[in-house]
Amino acid sequence: MVLVASGEAFKRIDRKTNGRFLRNYPEIEWEGVMGVRDVIAHGYFDVDPDQVFDICKNDIPALIGTVERMIADLR
């Protein structure tokens, strides 16, 4: 559920900033982040649990670091 909520939040940020804000953080593949949200939210039978585990283990730490930097940059 957290992947769905965070993916939706990034979609909203992207829409509200016309794509300008996320572009400042190219180390994250934002289309993939938002795409994972769509697959989990709408493609229940297409969700690969091993892939979700891999995302959580390998990709989320970098995403958290980037979000922390985003927050710091906005202060």
Tokens at 50, concatenated: 């091993």
CA 65 to chain centre: 12
Q: What is the pTM of this model?
A: 0.83
Active site residue 15: no
The domain segmentation of the chain, as residue ranges, is: 1-74
pLDDT per residue over 40-57, tens digit each? 888 867 888 999 999 999
> What's residue 32's pLDDT?
92
Residue 1 has pLDDT above 80, yes or no: no
Active site residue 69: no
Instruction: Determine the angle formed by the axes of helices 2-16 and 30-42, rounding to 10 degrees.
Output: 130
> What's residue 46's pLDDT?
80
> What's residue 45's pLDDT?
78
20, 23, 42, 69: the catalytic one is 42
Q: How confident is the model at residue 18 (pLDDT cuts 50, 70, 90)?
A: very high
